[in-house]
Structure 1
Amino acid sequence: MLSRTQKFTAIQGDVELTAEISPCVFMYQGYGLQLTVTLPKGGNTIVARKDIPIETATEQDCQALLESVRVLPCNVCQKPAFDPSSCSTNRDGKCESCFMAELNAAFEKETKKEDAKLKRDDAKFKARGYTHRVHAWIHPASGSDYELMMWMINPTQEEITSELKKKKSVDTTDYKLIEL
């Protein structure tokens, strides 16, 4: 029987892939064989054979599954990246560094856009006589939390609490009061 800590390696060109059996296969009966495969400079992917129960899986099954993973040069910097045609990955042929740089750049761009919109909204409400913005998180009993912005005129804690209760928030303290 395979152990929870067993590791496997495979060479793809000049890249050594490492893999370990994913913990979920031991947690959920009938899950099937699944490996978490890691590149030497970061990044991992999942490969699975749901038709092979972990109870009967062999080291050879694990090795064959690992060897099915292909590596190609990153389409940005040429470092090793997972070949999306051979495994489950959302990196689209990019190495972890390039993927994360692209993701962080997109996040930064979106954050700046949202900050600029909030600044415009604050100015618009201030011009209308509002004095504060309440940045709150609503925590309904259903558990589907969401963010809320409210502009108010010299709000008291009681007024803010009342507004959050109207939104059916079970926590009326999760807010930040920002002076405009």
Structure 2
Amino acid sequence: MSDNSSPTPYPGIETSAPLARDFTFTTQRAGETLTMRVEAASWGYPNWGLQIGVSIDDGGKTRHNSTGVRRPDLPFERATVGDALALFESVGIVPCRTCGAPAFDPDTSITNRAGECESCFLERIDRDFERQMLPSRIRELKAELQRAVDHKAKGFTHRLLAMIHPEAGGDDYLVEFFTKKEPTPAEIEKLLKKRRSAVLNDYRLTHLDILQTSLQEALAKAEADKVTFAAETTEARKVAAKAARDAKKAIGAAAKTPGKARSPKATARAGKPPQGDQGDAS
């Protein structure tokens, strides 16, 4: 067993006791509730060493708000409660770089949140995904709107979107129908039976006037988002460019500071007398 013990006292806890797989510990730190648990990787992988997980209670705003820290040099079989608590103490909490809420210090834990709290991290990746998908979203909306306009011009009044669940199994798929009158539920069921769908009520029927208005609104929002994302990208580039310029200026200033940097020629001349007339003035 390791003789390490927790760096802070834990009343009622025997820190020298062997570490159990189900050991957990909850405490308050900097006004936040932190909970520690032993990760299964500690005993599940050969030569992995002790690893714990630490979570911050954020009031249920996110499902996953945790990090990990590991001691690869300490086998789980030799670890004590104190060893786990010492790892727990090593996990730092810092203000989120975006909103200031508590976040895990990336320098002291296993995390890809880079100093962001879970809420900001999830919001950022959702927004990044939305930004990446926006061009295809706009194309799809334009195509869908054009189909509605074309069919309305031909006398169609309703669109039926139905999910087909094949009786024989396999992947479900979406189908689109246009009708020149509002179909009854029985007519829709008959149509889906022809497609051999095992489910006969997974559909949406929309009048083309309502559909057209809805698609126009969705397209307008998507186009507005495109402008917003472009502005955000431009601003981010400006910030990055300014940071690069500032760094370049700082490097230049440091190079000009006496004693900080000298050119090879200056170094070669060091210690040599000045050239030219070296006689005493008379």
TM-score by structure 1 length? 0.60
Aligned partner of 1:36: which letter?
G
1:35 to 40, 46, 52: 52
Flag the 1:172–1:73 CA change in 2: closer, same or farther, 3 A.
same
Bigger proportion of residues as helix? 2
CA contact (8 A) 1:36 1:44 kept: no
Q: Give the distance between the partners of 2:195 and 2:77, measured in 1 at CA.
A: 55
Larger RCO: Structure 1 or Structure 2 (Cα < 8 Å, ≥ 6 residues apart)? 1
Q: Which residue of 2 aligns with 1:4?
A: 22
1:134 aligns with 2:161: yes
Specify the alignment match of 2:67 in structure 1. 46
Q: Report the equivalent of 2:147.
A: 124
Taking a change above 3 Å as real, the CA distance of residues 6 and 39 of structure 1, as seen in their structure-2 partners, is closer
Gaps of 5+ in 1: 166-170
Percent identity between matched residues is: 26
Q: Distance in 1 between matches of 2:70 and 2:98?
A: 31
Please give the alpha-carbon distance, in whole angstroms, between the structure 2 residues aligned to 1:174 and 1:62. Answer: 54
1:70–1:82 contact (8 Å) kept in structure 2 = yes
Asked if 1:20 is matched to 2:37, the reply is: yes
Q: Following the alignment from structure 1 to structure 2, what is the Cα–Cα distance between the partners of residues 135 and 16?
A: 48
Q: 1:56 to 1:79 in 2, by over 3 A?
A: same
Q: Deviations over 1:50-71 (max 9, x none)?
A: 8556554321332233234232
1:151 aligns with 2:169: no
Distance in structure 1 (CA, Å) of the matches to 2:101 and 2:78: 36
8 A contact 1:138–1:148 mirrored in 2: no
Larger Rg, first or second structure (1 or 2) = 2
SS in structure 2 at match of 1:98: helix
- Please tell me whether residue 94 in structure 1 is matched to residue 89 in structure 2: no
- Evaluate the alpha carbon distance shift between residue 39 and residue 45 of structure 1 in structure 2; reply closer, same or farther with a 3 A threshold: same
Deviation of the 1:81 alpha carbon = 1.1
SS in structure 1 of the partner of residue 205 of structure 2:
strand
CA distance in 2: counterparts of 1:123 and 1:94, whole angstroms = 42
The match for 1:57 is 79
Partner of 1:79: 101
CA contact (8 A) 2:67 2:110 kept: yes
The CA RMSD measured in Å over matched residues stands at: 4.4
Cα distance in structure 1, aligned partners of 2:118 and 2:190:
48
**Change over 3 Å in CA distance of 1:156–1:97 after alignment to 2:** closer
d(CA) in 1 for partners of 2:189, 2:142: 24
State the distance in 1 between where 2:128 and 2:192 align. Answer: 34
Separation of aligned partners in 2, 1:162 and 1:54? 61
> Residues 156-167 of structure 1: matches in 2 within 5 Å?
156-163=188-195, 165=197
Q: Give structure 2 stretches of 5+ with no counterpart.
A: 1-18, 208-282
Q: Give the number of equivalent residue pairs.
A: 168
